[in-house]
């Protein structure tokens, strides 16, 4: 984006400057833009998950114009209520995916496998843990940290043969990523087809 004479220009367009019409192609010529006083423009906005946009200010003093929205923090209790809704929604989805085991058993079919029953119990146990963790959050900074908690993940390096088949040896690689703890569930149904062979560990930094 660009900025000229109080206008934010989002896409190239013809510009009339000092009674001269310049074609949209000038936006590919940085030297021409500079000579005309058209500056690149960037905008800083608060993270809408945690802040409302406040007053807008523009700094035109540099080579690049920067527009900035002040931030107003969202209400902590409202955010926590939304977090609890997210947890409940995920539990409903996870339980809904396995409810058919009980429906089958109720109709005289195969009994619910023990690993599925244990998985259901683990889901509700994790739900209670997450709800307690969210309840303990008292500041916006704590909420932001909970939903963006840094972790180090260690994975095995993939090795491919000439036919494109993948295998994993002893070599590993590490990466850092932020994890929303609302989305991080350790309980998983036992299914050999869902095992991540490359996974080694995931630890909080």
Structurally, the chain folds into a number of domains equal to: 2
In this structure, the answer to whether residues 136 and 186 fall within a common structural domain is yes
In this structure, the answer to whether residues 36 and 113 fall within a common structural domain is no
In this structure, the answer to whether residues 96 and 196 fall within a common structural domain is yes
In this structure, the answer to whether residues 24 and 67 fall within a common structural domain is yes
The three-point CA angle 41-43-44 to 5° equals 150
In this structure, the answer to whether residues 128 and 194 fall within a common structural domain is yes
In this structure, the answer to whether residues 84 and 125 fall within a common structural domain is yes
Rounded to two decimals, what is the model's pTM? 0.77
Positions of E strands within the chain: 2-4, 7-9, 15-17, 20-22, 39-44, 51-59, 65-73, 149-160, 166-179, 199-204
Query: Containing domain of residue 65, as a range?
Result: 2-73
In this structure, the answer to whether residues 141 and 161 fall within a common structural domain is yes
Q: Identify the bridge partners of residue 104 per DSSP, sorted by sequence position.
A: none
Q: What is the mean pLDDT of residues 139-156?
A: 97
Q: What is the pLDDT of residues 24-74, one digit of tens each?
A: 999 999 999 999 999 999 999 999 999 999 999 999 999 999 999 999 999
Give the model's confidence band at 189: pLDDT under 50 very low, under 70 low, under 90 confident, else very high. Answer: confident
Q: What is the pLDDT of residues 74-117, one digit of tens each?
A: 999 999 999 999 999 999 999 999 999 999 999 999 999 999 99
In this structure, the answer to whether residues 67 and 117 fall within a common structural domain is no
Query: What three-state secondary structure class fits 140?
Result: helix
Q: What is the mean pLDDT of residues 157-168?
A: 93
In this structure, the answer to whether residues 118 and 158 fall within a common structural domain is yes
Structural domain ending residue among the three candidates 30, 58, 73? 73
In this structure, the answer to whether residues 81 and 155 fall within a common structural domain is yes
In this structure, the answer to whether residues 82 and 103 fall within a common structural domain is yes
């Amino acid at each position: 984006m660009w900025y000229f004479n109080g206008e934010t220009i989002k896409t190239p367009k013809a510009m009339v400057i000092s009674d001269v019409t310049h074609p949209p192609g000038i936006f590919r010529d940085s030297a021409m833009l500079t000579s005309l006083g058209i500056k690149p423009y960037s905008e800083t906005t608060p993270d809408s998950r945690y802040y409302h946009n406040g007053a807008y200010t523009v700094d035109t003093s540099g080579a690049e114009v920067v527009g900035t929205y002040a931030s107003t923090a969202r209400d902590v209790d409202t955010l926590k209520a939304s977090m609890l809704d997210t947890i409940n929604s995920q539990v409903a989805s996870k339980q809904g995916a396995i409810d058919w085991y009980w429906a089958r058993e109720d109709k005289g079919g195969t009994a619910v496998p023990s690993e599925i029953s244990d998985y259901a119990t683990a889901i509700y146990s994790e739900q209670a843990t997450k709800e307690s963790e969210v309840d303990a959050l008292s500041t916006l900074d704590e909420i932001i940290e909970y939903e963006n908690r840094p972790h180090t993940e260690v994975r095995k390096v993939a090795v491919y043969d000439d036919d494109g088949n993948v295998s994993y040896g002893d070599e590993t690689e590490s990466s850092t990523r932020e994890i929303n703890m609302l989305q991080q569930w350790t309980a998983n149904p036992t299914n050999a087809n869902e095992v991540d062979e490359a996974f080694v560990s995931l630890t909080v930094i």
